[in-house]
Chain A
Amino acid sequence: MAQSSTPPQTQEQRVQEFVSDFNALRSEIRKVIVGHDEVINHVLTGLFAGGHVLLEGVPGLGKTLLIKTLAESLDLTFSRIQFTPDLMPGDIMGTNMIVEDESERKHFQFHRGPIFAHILLADEVNRATPKTQSALLEGMQEGAVTVSGHANPLPQPFFVLATQNPIEMEGTYPLPEAQLDRFLFKLRVQYPALEDLTEIINRTTQVREVNVQRVMTGPRALSFRELVREVPIAAHVRDLAAHIVLATHPQWERSPEQTRRFVRYGASPRGAQALVLGAKVRALSEGRYNVSVEDLRAMALPSLRHRIILNFEGEAEAVDVDRLITQIIEAAENMSATEKEVFLR
């Protein structure tokens, strides 16, 4: 375990520990998961940024396995909920049951549901009814669930990793926009490349034991979350983040043409928070003490792709949101003070 017993003396040491732990986690996951480097980085980024991550991909790509491996590499409690149409909110949050104490007196006792875990895998989250999905909302946003008027705090760190299948739409309930917004990142799990697929075949069809080490504890993860928030960001980088988020809104007077044409609703302020927090984690994971423009560019897609709602024309034209975000970033960089403007000013 990479955790040290004595607190770091300097900030540089803190950052170095973060980098080493981050790399250690990544290495542990890579023992099991082949490829998907970007997805792994973003999952870990979401963990240290203090948000929740939604993974979208066709079946069999290793989404669930990735999350299970992450849970194994963290010294944290883990629970998995397989979402089905008949799943009820009580099945997630828990319920009050009548129990009898030693004096034979009956009283209600709250039996915690599977949501009371540090890492929660909500598998195929779009298969549950909206009522059950919304039960997850409070836990994700507030870090507590309320049952019978009593709020029960969730253990910290609380990290929800949900998966959903984009192609199997029958019998599913697409997540409402409000719930999508609660996820810090939305990651798209792509089909593996040829080399990765070959490696997957080798790993999974032979006798091979993989021991995933626990490399991080909960309190350490929480301390890293605090460290992330200390990373300074320059004004022009922060302004660029704001420009990017505002440029996703068709109502904004400076938004690009693509936004005006294809977007119905743009990203919420949560999108800006996710963008900057993700950029901070990325900077720290690279051993930097500040956020750069490149960090924003790298984190824009997972932070914003589920927060942009296309209009009818965008849906009809099958506009790729990722490509749209790339164009928006370019437009936002042109809007903010660019090299050309500085040069000619």
Chain B
Amino acid sequence: MPDLTILQRAVADVSRQIRVRRAEFYGLRGLFGGSLCALLPLVLRDSLGWQSFVWAGLCLGAGALAGAGIGFSMKLPAGEAARLADRGYGLQDRISTALEWADRPDRTPLVDALVTDAVAHARSLEGRRVIPRRVPREARFVPVPLALGVALALAPAIPLPQGSLPSLSGARQEDEDKQPERTGNLESQEQPRAAKREDMRRAEIQERTVGPRAGMGGATQPGDLSAIFKDTSIAGQTPDFNAFLKKGDERIRMLEQIDRLPDLQRDFTQSQQRMVFQKAKALRGGLKGEQFSPDKLRELLKEMERLGRKGDPGYSGDLSEGMEALEQGQSDRAMEAMERALNKLRAMEEKGRDGKGLRGGREDERRGGRKGERGQGGSPGDEGDWPEGEGSLPGKGRSGSPKGDPSQRLRTNPFDVGVEGEARSGRKDGMDTNLVGRGGNVPSRLQYMGVLGQYRKQMEEDVAREQVPRDYHGQVKDYFKALDEK
């Protein structure tokens, strides 16, 4: 068996080269990390003084040395070094195969020839570097922190924020010390907090108003960040309800005007006239006219007058007549005046709904009460809101179908539910989703690109199923096309 020393020496030489290259590689990485760390003492040069340069240099050196040390001491198996030696010297895996097979018990007769051949090749090797230098990616960025560090070193020291947050405690303490002098002990014991608040408010007003007027706004020293936190004094305040009452807040005055207060229990979907009618109904309590007491009737008329105060109800004359009749003790006449006023209310409601109601439908049942009694002159007060007459809708309201007669359009094409007719010419504001004004510059919160495909698919389905009016097809498609162009 030939001597393997030459092969092992060649492998050791390549191992050394690998370690050196690794040290270079990781040293550059460490240098990059160290250069980043070196920026910190340079930023703190104001407080560290000349020591910041020492610290920066130490960071650089320590990073590079640590990286190089780590790279040099990394584990390197001999077999892999032999592979790299084969590759580096172009030996076609002779050394690695020979070293691997030399000590194997199952080695073939050819292994001896292989070792001899590998040794012969290794003898002819020149001591050249076969491991190429590798530069880490971070090395390209090393000049950036280095240049930044040089700039920091040459530039004047960065002033650090010194001082602290505005301490109101000192002034407060001073005020507390002076308080007994200005006021008596009793008062100071009773309202110590109020006094503090008063002082704080005074100082606050002074800062906000007097300061800027006197040109004190720019008087803050560099690094004095307390100006930023001036308004934090507001957060320290506690609600002062007594001062609130004394000042006579607008909201208190609103409380006095009961009529202006919103009725939170009211159904805002109902009209004013309807509300008045319901109130009248509630006041009557299901009593007939002759069963009304004059007081009850007066209360009812007053309430109707109050509820109808906002607009021009048209029944104010009836109400005033009713009030006069009550004053004269003529309750029947007052009752008639109230009934007239209620009828006028009802007529106004009818007029307001003219042309808007749908023929038939559930609305009929609800409004007209029971089917058989609708329009039959049912007694007032025993039914729903509109107990009398034909109901509030135009026509007779006697359709056999609860939903009314189907239209011709529905019979022809079940898919054609589009609106007939031509589109209104001119700009259609309802379709314009572009924001104008300040909000127009704010980026949309909706990620258009994320949902655009989904919306487009839905649009195409809707257009295909005629769920979009035909005259709007082009406009809808143009809108999505415009989104694509964006």
Please state if B22 and A290 are interface contacts (CB–CB under 8 Å): no
- In the assembly, what is the distance between CA of A38 and CA of B191, in Å? 108
Q: Which residues of B contact A292 (CB under 8 A)?
A: 86, 92-94
Tell me if A289 and B117 are in contact (CB < 8 A): yes
**Complex CA–CA separation, A292 to B86 (angstroms):** 10
Contact at B80–A289, with CB atoms within 8 Å? no
Tell me, yes or no, whether A294 is within 8 Å of chain B by CB.
Answer: yes
- Pick the residue among B22, B80, B94 that contacts A288 (CB under 8 A): B94
Interface size class of B (residues with CB under 8 A): 20 to 34
Of all chain B residues, which has the CB nearest A231? B110
Minimum CB–CB distance for B17 against chain A, Å: 11
Which of A294, A337, A343, A344: most chain B CB closer than 10 A? Answer: A343
Contact of A343 among B18, B98, B108 (CB under 8 A): B18
B93, A234: Cβ atoms closer than 8 Å: yes
A162 at the interface (CB under 8 A from B): no
Is B297 an interface position by the 8 A CB rule? no
Q: Flag the segment in A7-15, A51-59, A169-177 that touches B.
A: A7-15
A290 adjacent to B114 (CB under 8 Å): yes
Majority-rule SS of B interface residues? helix
Q: Within 8 Å CB of B76, what residues of A?
A: 342, 345
Contacting residue for B74 out of A232, A290, A345, CB 8 A: A345
Could you say which of A11, A12, A234 contacts B100, with CB atoms under 8 Å apart? Answer: A234
Report whether B93 and A11 are in contact in the complex, using a CB–CB cutoff of 8 Å. no
Question: Which residues on B sit within 8 Å (CB–CB) of A339?
Answer: 84, 87
Give the most central of B74, B76, B80, B93: most A CB within 10 Å: B93
B93 touches A342 (CB 8 A): no
Task: Give Cα A85–Cα B167 distance, bound, in whole angstroms.
Answer: 106
Say yes or no: B109 contacts A230, CB within 8 Å. Answer: yes
Contact: B109 with A235, CB < 8 Å? Answer: no
- B288 close to chain A: CB less than 8 A: no
The CA-CA distance from A234 to B87 in the complex, in Å, is 14
B109 touches A343 (CB 8 A): no
Residue contact A232 to B96, C-beta cutoff 8 Å:
no
- Write the chain A residue with the least CB distance to B111: A232
Kindly state whether residue A236 has any CB partner on chain B within 8 Å: yes
Q: Write the chain A residue with the least CB distance to B99.
A: A234
Cβ B93 vs Cβ A15 within 8 A: no
Contact A343 B97 (CB under 8 A): no
User: Distance in Å from the Cβ of A99 to the closest Cβ of chain B?
Assistant: 49
B94–A342 CB distance below 8 A: no
B168 within 8 A of A: no
Known: A236-B79, A236-B83, A342-B80. A230 touches B97 (CB 8 A): no
- Asked if A237 contacts B97 (CB within 8 A), the reply is yes
Question: Contact: B113 with A12, CB < 8 Å?
Answer: yes
Q: Is the CB of B109 within 8 A of A11?
A: yes
Shortest distance in angstroms between B426's beta carbon and chain A's nearest beta carbon? Answer: 55
Using A289-B117, A290-B114 as known contacts, list a sample of 5 further A-B pairs with CB atoms less than 8 Å apart, ordered by residue number in A. A231-B110, A232-B111, A232-B114, A290-B93, A345-B74
A-B contact pairs, 25 of them (CB 8 A): A11-B112, A232-B97, A232-B101, A232-B110, A233-B97, A234-B93, A235-B79, A236-B79, A236-B93, A289-B111, A289-B113, A290-B93, A290-B97, A290-B101, A292-B93, A293-B92, A293-B93, A342-B80, A342-B83, A342-B84, A343-B134, A344-B25, A345-B74, A345-B75, A345-B76
Which residue numbers of A lie inside 8 Å of B, CB to CB? 10-12, 15, 227, 230-237, 288-294, 337, 339, 342-345
6 closest cross-chain pairs (CB), A and B: A289-B114, A292-B92, A290-B97, A230-B108, A11-B113, A234-B97
